[in-house]
Amino acid sequence: MDLKSFSSNSLSSSEVALLARSSSYSYNAFRHKFGVRLSKSPRGIIIRAYGGPENHYLANKAIISLAGGANNVAAETSFHSSNGLNGSTWSLFTRNLKVLEAYDDEYGGVVIDPDRLPTNPSVFARALNLSLSHWKKMGKKGIWLKLPIEKSDLVPVSIKEGFQYHHAEPGYVMLTYWIPEGPCMLPANASHLVGVGGFVINENNEVLVVQEKHCSPEILGLWKIPTGFILEAEEIYTGAIREVKEETGIDTEFIEVIAFRHAHNVAFDKSDLFFICMLRALSSKIVVDDHEIEAAKWMPLVDFVKQPLIQEDSMFKQIIDIFVARLSKRYCGLSTHQVVSKFDGRVSSLYYNVIDNDEDINCVGN
């Protein structure tokens, strides 16, 4: 930034901080420009700033960076005294203050280290203000601030500084700050919830069904397939196997995803992906989960299909039709295949189907 002469207005904190940190001016230039003298003290650094006939002065609470390099050390005014008008003298006691520990992300942004944050809200507020000024000068874009639950006192300070909520988990809240002018280009919070349903059939052509303890009045009394949400870092097919096991005690193996539904504004106003998985029963003894399930049983497929709620609901009926078509080998779902991509080097599950001949459909799974 350009050097500005003092006039009847004080120099703002951000202007002083940016000016003092600028590599284009030495300390001597800064000292002569503003009449600043430094002297060491057991309590820190003493800055003396001298005003002239135009009543020049430094603003109280100004933050001045005194040292460059890797440490990003700055001096913060904590005491201000004034005597007279012309030729006034200020004595400013300062403490060392550093830019918050952080690392660069691959998109030109900064991720603040949550483990090295100040615990005192006042100290954090000063350090955060200084850090934002520093990152703005460095041309950074998005700032990510993860605040663990034990440092929740820092949330109001961050919001006051201009940070916005991004998402929250049981142990932390994530905040973001977008520096450049124009629309924020940071990725939004996760937009979807992912659910699974287990369509389990046994050798007697019976479907594993449950009645939930807690459900909406519209489906009260309905015998339905076991369903639930998948867990973090859980595969779709393993989530379906787990949900069936938790609700009914039945062991199963995954065959295919036979269909999936995409809906919007469901739980917490999020979109919802629901995968219906065809599973093969490996056991028969039912053990009901008393916390979630009212009852569970093996139900003949024909009786399951005849339920009024199934017949009256076009989506449920379509899912049943797909399932019956799969049993009669007139339809193939999506089986899972483990693949590795060179883009990220990670193992992923790719879902697709393979038919081994055209005359008699025979779906090839894992």
Choose between 96 and 203: higher pLDDT. 203
Residue 243 has pLDDT above 50, yes or no: yes
Which residues neighbour 34 within 8 Å (Cβ) at sequence distance 6 or greater?
6, 49, 56, 58
Q: Flag whether 218 is in a domain.
A: yes
Residue 236 has pLDDT above 60, yes or no: yes
Residue 82 has pLDDT above 60, yes or no: no
Distance CA 143, CA 171 (A): 20
209 and 291 fall within a common domain: yes
Res. 361 pLDDT band, cuts 50 70 90 = low
pTM: 0.70
208 and 347 fall within a common domain: yes
41 and 62 fall within a common domain: yes
Residue 268 has pLDDT above 60, yes or no: yes
Q: What is the mean pLDDT of residues 270-294?
A: 95
Residue 362, pLDDT score: 66
Q: What is the mean pLDDT of residues 223-233?
A: 95
Distance CA 309, CA 37 (A): 84
Amino acid at 222: L
How high is the mean pLDDT of the chain?
Answer: 79
141 and 116 fall within a common domain: yes
Order of strands across the sheet that contains 63-64: 36-41, 44-50, 89-98, 73-77, 63-64
223 and 299 fall within a common domain: yes
Lowest model confidence (mean pLDDT) among 59-68, 293-302, 321-330, 333-342: 59-68
Angle at CA of residue 232, ends 228 and 235, nearest 5°: 70
Nearest to 174, CA basis, from 191, 159, 185: 159
228 and 325 fall within a common domain: yes
Domain end marker among 98, 131, 160: 98
Choose between 251 and 329: higher pLDDT. 251
Residue 360 has pLDDT above 90, yes or no: no
Q: Flag whether 326 is in a domain.
A: yes
Angle at CA of residue 351, ends 267 and 227, nearest 5°: 35
Q: Flag whether 362 is in a domain.
A: no
111 and 66 fall within a common domain: no
Distance CA 302, CA 230 (A): 29
Question: Do 253 and 241 meet the contact criterion of CB atoms below 8 Å apart?
Answer: yes
Q: Flag whether 2 is in a domain.
A: no
Choose between 163 and 84: higher pLDDT. 163
Which two structure tokens, joined as six digits, stand for 24? 């284009």
pLDDT of 1-55, one tens digit each?
333 333 334 444 444 444 444 444 444 544 444 444 444 444 444 444 444 443 3
Question: 314 phi and psi, to 5 degrees?
Answer: -65, -35
Residue 212, pLDDT score: 92
Residue 73 has pLDDT above 60, yes or no: no
* Count of domains forming the chain: 3
Residue 251 has pLDDT above 80, yes or no: yes
Residue 139 has pLDDT above 70, yes or no: yes
User: Quick count: other Cβ atoms within 10 Å of Cβ 34?
Assistant: 22
276 and 293 fall within a common domain: yes
Q: What is the mean pLDDT of residues 217-235?
A: 92
Residue 96, pLDDT score: 62
Residue 357, pLDDT score: 61
Q: Flag whether 359 is in a domain.
A: no
Q: What is the mean pLDDT of residues 158-174?
A: 97
Nearest to 280, CA basis, from 319, 252, 245: 252
What separation in angstroms does the CA of 345 have from each of 6, 336, 339? 57, 18, 10
Distance CA 120, CA 131 (A): 16
What separation in angstroms does the CA of 244 have from each of 80, 130, 258, 280, 286? 69, 53, 16, 11, 10
94 and 106 fall within a common domain: no
Residue 358, pLDDT score: 56
Residue 239 has pLDDT above 70, yes or no: yes
Residue 284, pLDDT score: 94
Residue 58 has pLDDT above 60, yes or no: no
Res. 127 pLDDT band, cuts 50 70 90 = very high
Q: What is the mean pLDDT of residues 258-282?
A: 94
Q: What is the mean pLDDT of residues 185-201?
A: 95
Query: In terms of residue numbers, what domain contains 259?
Result: 198-352
Domain end marker among 98, 132, 149: 98
Lowest model confidence (mean pLDDT) among 16-20, 59-63, 228-232: 59-63
| The 3-state secondary structure of the chain, one letter per residue | CCCCCCCCCCECHHHHHHHHHCCCCCHHHHHHHHCEEEEEECCEEEEEEECCCCCCCECCCCEECCCCCCCCEEEEECCCCCCCCCCCEEEEEEEEEECCCEEECCCCCEEECHHHCCCCHHHHHHHHHHHHHHHHHCCCCEEEEEEEHHHCCHHHHHHHHCCEEEEEECCEEEEEEECCCCCCCCCCCCCEEEEEEEEEECCCCEEEEEEECCCCHHHCCCCECCEEECCCCCCHHHHHHHHHHHHHCCCEEEEEEEEEEEECCCHHHCEEEEEEEEEEECCCCCCCCCCCEEEEEEEEHHHHHHCHHHHHCHHHHHHHHHHHHHHCCCCCCEEEEEEECCCCCCEEEEEECCECCCCCCCECCC
Question: Do 39 and 46 meet the contact criterion of CB atoms below 8 Å apart?
Answer: yes
